[in-house]
Every structure is written in structure tokens, then in C-alpha cells.
Chains A and B, each alone.
Chain A
């Protein structure tokens, strides 16, 4: 499934919440949706979830214009809002059963799907608990289970990790990766950029409703460097003196930059991954006792800080 958001505009009075926003992603990808508070993330997600209509622009799922056909689009969307279930007087199981019925699942298929989702989201043990008795983390799980109950190909998740403890975050990350591996397209907004960077295939960065960057992480990191040679960012740790390693790296023609970073040295190697392999060989030739050599993902957090100004509207 291809998701295309084209030239989306939405204003509330004089506030332009979304301003000419365009981006796209597809099945099997996890896209991070990042921006400062009040940048228009939730508004965009609500439009994509058919809860709001834009003033202008289109949002298409495999060519289906969801603005004009919200009912058809709803079958394709699993939306997990930033707030939690409001049906306080229902048990977890009854809550999921209601939404399964609401999405038209019947008989054994409904029961089977609920069982499967409760298993997947680890809710089996608390299925008879009332929603009002659940912790925030548990409610997030229920919310995710609800979004998955009709097996939608697209998941829209607004701050799903907010308020979760570290274990729950790791579990959520694993769940999302598993869902992406199943072929679902996932758009996830979060403020926890380090976590997003670990699981996202791409990102959409917005500020004041306007798009700043969009694309796969590689495209975003290499934005503005299209005409330059590719490079690899690596971290190296040896049993030897870091200063000596630092100096040695700076003397190598393939190394563009090098800097000391705590107990290791980070370097930018000009060229593709073969260039990185050649660098290891060269270091070993020079007698360095390398104990760690790894590619470093570019830092989404740093990138976010670089491209946004922190303005809100």
C-alpha cells in the first residue's frame, strides 16, 4: 500500500495548523512523524484517520482519496490516538469485542481475531480487567490492540510511547517492528527521537505545519549532499591510545573527519561500505588492536535540532 499526502492545508481560525504538507511512504515501512509541540502532527494524523477534513489537499491510500471516501478508508486504518480509551465501564475483552463487531467481524473470525490480538499484545492475562483499573502502559496496549483488531494495512500512532516505562517501550518497539515485518505501513509520532531512530525506516519532520524534511533516513541525512560523495559514519574502539588513533585517522586520505568521543573515536569515511572495510584493514596494518568497529546511524535527534527552530504557533 502506498500512502500519499499531497499539499494538505488545515487552519483553525487564524492558526494555520497544517500548511502545504506533502509526504509519502509504503507498506513495510515505519515512518517517524516528528516536530515540536503544536507543529501540526496530531492534526495531520486526525485528517489521515478521517476524523477531520482538510481545507485543501489530498490524502490517498493506494489511489483512494480518503477525504472523499472516509468510510472506505476506515477499513484500511488502525488509529491509535494520544489519549486512552474512554469506555471506563468495559472490560478489556468486551472493549475489543465491541470494536471487532464495529468493524464487521463475525462469529468465529471475531473470536479468533480477538484471541490472536490479545496474544500478540500480551493482554491475555488482563482480558477481564476493567479499563478504568488499568495502568497507562496497559491502556496503551489495549489501544494498540484496538487499532489492530481489523488487521488494517496502515497504522497511525500518535505518541504511543508517551508515559511508558523502559520495558514497555522496548516491547512496543518490538511489536511495531514485527508489524512492519508483516507488511504494515506505520506512521508514528513521538518525542523520543532516539527510539524512533532505532526503528524508523524514514521520517517526516514538520514545524509550524510546514514540511522541513521527508523521506527515508538516508535521504534525510544526505539532504543537501546529493552532489557530494557518499560517506560512512563509523565508531572505532581500540586497546591503544585514542589520541594516537585520532591522529592516525586524520592522516588517512579516505577519512574526511575524525573526533574523539569518550572511549572511542568517530570518523567519516568517504565512499561506500567497501571504504569502511578498507579502513579497518589499514588500521590493523598499522598495528591498532581494534576491539570494536561499527557503523553509526546518523543522529535523528541532532538532525531534528538542526532543522527545527522550536517555533510553535
Chain B
């Protein structure tokens, strides 16, 4: 009796600590005809395929046959396609409906933390995925009996599939959380969905093909086998984590320190991944590309962060000011991690410089004798030039927004202005040159690439550092410096105002002490995230 009551107590304790979103989503999934219909349909298709294959294949019973591997690929394709089409659409679609302003779903005025909401949605999606995988497991086992595939391969491929569906589900949650109308959200979902299916499909096909041809079972004892696998898994999970925190920031209340968890995660992920990739680089016997993979992956993420960060608030609200540490030693790192356009810019530049610097130093010292060659130095320099260009573009966007579009463009639109400028910088000179002399582009030299941030990357194909790369480095440097000077007051103002608010308590907000006089609403300054 006491055993039963103890078990009941444990069950009740667990029940209380379960994420409410997971409980709700799973209850809805069980009640949903859509989920049940998809599952039953998939099982019918798998069963029919197996039946047709067996009765139409004469050599099915032969010892030398490869029918198991072939059938496994068919089943796995069906399973992953179903999960990729169904689970992200189901989870992301629900969140989109709940987020829509027209329905004002009350999920977002409960006391659930944004991270709990996103985690609950992701977890619920993965539970549904595991449910579908479990239902299909007997069919996968049958493929082993038909020969041509070993259990480790089955486990690896299934694990890979789960990672793929996990990423697709998180992407769908991110799209569902984007603050835009349902029409644009549907359009965005279609674009992202097609791209994701294309990219993830290519990843699955190539990985599964490699696993089948490598013969996983025989190579599991080799460290060189695990290096690329672990590199892939770490990058993949790191990317999913990034999307997770991006979604959390998106649904956090505007006055909150939205960027803090995201930047903290990115900094942590940067440190951990650096350690792991250095270890992989060191432990790989024949040398590997781990550190180069890390440098490129981290640089791409940081360059995107550079663009996005200028859309953050440039005036800190009282709530954020209150959370600034009073200890000056803590205030410096806090500045880099907290919400704010200047903070985001400084953090992105610092992290990019560190990434390129570490890659450069490790290569120059040739610590492990396996790192970068001369071409890789040029690659790092090219990434640096791209960074300078993007810095110049985002600061130009800030300047335009502050000076010209003061009342027409909100702070949140600065990144869009920057991207528009980048596109114009790439396209307009090309059109001008073509209009002047369509028959002879060379007569203008390559000046039409002077505003193109990515031209230095194309030039890497030449095998040496070209005059175009030197010229573009010079242009990007001068342009960046000029823009920093022109935006100096904007930047220094934010740095100077990064001081803790000390004279009040949460219940007695200083901004509530006196009514603010009605003033025309300006889009030029924002305290919103």
C-alpha cells in the first residue's frame, strides 16, 4: 500500500513538473484526427510497400541478397519525408495560430516563461516524432532480417533522421513565432519549407549513402570515423540551440533583456565548440578540417549577428537599466551581452575578431601541424574584409535611419535597410557598368565589385591574394572608420548610458513618477526590443 502511495506521489510530482505545453500538445495530438490519420496512413503505406516488395522479389530468401539495405532506404525515405512534412507544419502551424494577434491566444499572457513555451513546443514535436518512429520500428527491424544492413547503420541513420526532424521542427517554431501577419507567415513558411526540404534532403541522401557505403559497424572503433560525425552533430545541435534562443528572444516581452540569453548562449557555444574542435583537431591522426569548419561556421553566425544587432533598441528602458550590474567589473561583460544595438555591434565585432585571431594564431604557430595552409590565411583575411564591409553597411543604415528616415523607419527596420544597401551595393554598380558599355566590362577594371562585400570570397579561387582583395580591404577599412566617426555620438551615447538605475524599486518606477508630456511619436528611437 505504501509502495503504491509512494509511486503515486512520484507520479504526481513528475506530473507537476512536466512542461504544461507538452502536456497540452500531447493531449491535443491524441485527440487530433489529423495526427492519427497521418500515422495510420504511413503504417498502411509501409505495410503495402513491404508486402509488394516481398511478393515481387524472387531472390528475397537468398543469403547474398541486399534487399534489407534497399528496403531500409525506401522505408527511411518515407518515414523522414512524412515527419519533415508533418511534424514541423503541425507544431509551427499551431504556434503561428496561437501567436496571431487576431486570436490573441492567452498562452502569451500566462506566467509561462518564453523559454518554457518554445521548449515545450519543441519537446512536444519530438515526442510526436518519436511516436511515429516507434510505430515504424517493426518495419525497420524487418529490413535487418532481409540482410544487407547492420544494426549500427540502422541506429545511426535513425539518429540522423531524428536530428534532421529536430532542426526542421525548430525552424518551423521560429517561423511560427515571427511577428508578422498570417499571410506573410504562410508565404515565409512555404519558402523556408522548400529550402529546408532541399537542404535537409541533400544532407540525408548524402549521409545515408556514405553510411551505407562505409559500413558503419566495422569502423566504429576508429577515432577518425567519429571526428566528422561528432563535428556534424555538434554543429547541428549548436545551430538548433541558436534557433531555439532566437525564438525565445522573439517571443520575449519587448521591455525585457531579450538579447541576453541569446548572446550568453552564443558566447558559451563559441567557447565549448572551440574547445571541442581544438580537441578533435588535435586527436585526429591524419589531420582534419575541424578548426577551419569551426572558424567558417562561427564567422557566418557572427556576421549575421552583426547585421541583426543594429535592429535592437538604442534607448534602454528602465527595466533593463535596473538589471545592469553595479560592479564595474561585471558591467563590462554585461554591456557586451545585454540588449542594445551598440552592445550587439560591439559583441559581434569582438567575437569575430577573436574567432579570426584564434584561427590565425593556431595556424601561424602550426600547433598541431595539421592546420591551415597559406590559402587558409587568405580565407581568414577575406572573412575579415567581409566583416569590415558589413560593419560599414550596417553603420550606414544606422546613419540613414537616424538622419533621413527619422520619422519613417523604426529602429527594428535598420537591418532591413542594411540588407537593402548590401543588395544595392552588389547590383547597382554592375547595372551601371553594363549600361555604359555592355560589350566590354574589362575596360572599367573591376571597380564594379568595389561595393560588393563578397567579391573577396570569389577571389579566393585564384589561389593568391589579389589586388582586388587589397583594394577592397582598403575601401572597407576607410568606409568603416568614416561610419564609426559619423555614428560616434550614437555609439558613445549608448555606451555612456549603460549605467544601473539605482534610485527606485520595481514597484515604484521612476518613469511613473510624473506623466510624460504628450509628444509626437518618433520612430527614430526605440525602447522596444
Interface residues of A in 49-87 (CB under 8 A from B): 49-51, 53, 55-58, 60, 62-65, 67-72, 74-75, 77, 79, 81, 83, 86-87
Which A240-285 residues have C-beta < 8 A from chain B?
none
Name 17 interchain pairs, CB-CB below 8 A, sorted by A.
Answer: A7-B518, A50-B109, A71-B256, A74-B110, A77-B109, A79-B106, A83-B103, A86-B103, A87-B24, A89-B28, A94-B24, A94-B27, A103-B111, A106-B16, A107-B12, A107-B16, A150-B111
Q: How far does the Cβ of B34 sit from chain A's closest Cβ, in whole Å?
A: 9
Q: Which 8 A-B pairs rank lowest in CB-CB distance, beginning with the nearest?
A: A101-B20, A102-B110, A65-B509, A68-B319, A89-B28, A98-B24, A89-B31, A106-B16
Residues of A contacting B105 with CB < 8 Å? 86
Is A60 within 8 A of B108, CB to CB? no
* The residue from A9, A20, A64 contacting B507, defined by CB atoms under 8 A apart: A64
The total of Cβ contacts below 8 Å across the A-B interface reads 118
Q: Is there a chain B Cβ closer than 8 Å to A11's Cβ?
A: yes
Residues of B within 8 A of A63 (CB): 507-509, 512
How many chain A residues sit at the interface, stated as a range, is 35 or more
- Given known pairs A49-B109, A50-B253, the reply for A98 and B20 (CB within 8 Å) is yes
The CA of A79 and the CA of B318, in the complex, are separated in Å by: 26
If A72-B506, A86-B97, A102-B110 touch, does A9 touch B521 (CB 8 Å cutoff)?
Answer: yes
**In the complex, residue of chain A having the shortest beta-carbon distance to the beta carbon of B20:** A101
Question: Whole-angstrom distance between the alpha carbons of A81 and B21 in the complex?
Answer: 21
**Bound form: Cα–Cα A11–B523 in Å:** 12
Query: Which residues of chain A are within 8 angstroms of B108 by Cβ–Cβ distance?
Result: 51
Pick from B18, B21, B113, B521 the residue with the most CB of A within 10 Å: B521
Identify which of A58, A62, A64, A68 gathers the most chain B CB atoms within 10 Å of its CB.
A68
A297 to chain B, nearest CB (A): 33
CA distance A60 to B102 in the complex (A): 25
Task: Mark out the residues of chain B between 312 and 347 whose CB falls within 8 Å of any chain A CB in the assembled complex.
Answer: 317-319
**Which of B109, B256, B528 touches A74 (beta carbons < 8 Å)?**
B109
Q: Closest Cβ of chain B: how far from A117's Cβ, in Å?
A: 15
Q: Please determine whether B516 and A83 come into contact, CB atoms closer than 8 angstroms.
A: no
Residues of chain B contacted by A106 (CB below 8 angstroms): 16
Residues B17-50 near A (CB distance < 8 A): 18, 20-21, 23-24, 27-28, 31-32
Task: Provide the bound-state CA to CA distance between A87 and B106, in Å.
Answer: 10
Q: Check B318 against A68 for contact (C-beta < 8 Å).
A: yes
Chain A nearest Cβ from B6, distance in angstroms:
15
Residues of A within 8 A of B (CB): 6-7, 9, 11, 20, 46, 49-51, 53, 55-58, 60, 62-65, 67-72, 74-75, 77, 79, 81, 83, 86-87, 89-91, 94, 97-99, 101-104, 106-107, 110, 130, 146, 150
Closest to A63 in B: B507
Alpha-carbon distance A58/B511, docked complex (angstroms): 8
- Asked whether any CB of chain A lies closer than 8 Å to the CB of B376, the reply is no
Task: Tell me whether B254 is interfacial, beta carbon within 8 Å.
Answer: yes
Answer whether residue B515 sits at the interface, using C-beta atoms and an 8 A cutoff.
yes
Please indicate which of the listed interface residues A50, A102, A104 has the most CB atoms of chain B within 10 Å of its own CB: A102
Q: Does B104 contact A (CB under 8 A)?
A: yes
Q: A63-B508, A70-B255, A83-B103 are in contact. Are A51 and B109 (CB under 8 A)?
A: yes
CB interface residues, B 251-281, toward A, < 8 Å = 253-256
Contact between chains at A146 and B106 (CB < 8 Å) = yes
Q: How far is the CB of B373 from chain A (nearest CB, A)?
A: 52
With both chains docked as a complex, state the minimum distance between the C-beta of A189 and any C-beta of chain B, in angstroms. Answer: 14
Interfacial chain A residues near B516, Cβ < 8 Å = 7, 56-57
- Please give, as numbers and ranges, the residues of chain B lying within 8 Å of A79 by CB-CB distance: 106, 109
**Min distance, Cβ B114 to any Cβ of chain A, angstroms:** 9
Q: A56-B518, A56-B521, A74-B111 are in contact. Are A101 and B23 (CB under 8 A)?
A: yes
The closest CB in chain A to the CB of B17 belongs to A106
0/1 string, B434-452, CB within 8 A of A gives 1: 0000000000000000000
- The complex places the Cα of A275 from the Cα of B319 at a distance, in Å, of 55
Taking a contact as CB atoms closer than 8 A, the residue among A6, A70, A83, A104 that contacts B515 in the complex is A6
Contacts A102-B20, A107-B12 given: A90-B106 contact, CB under 8 Å?
no
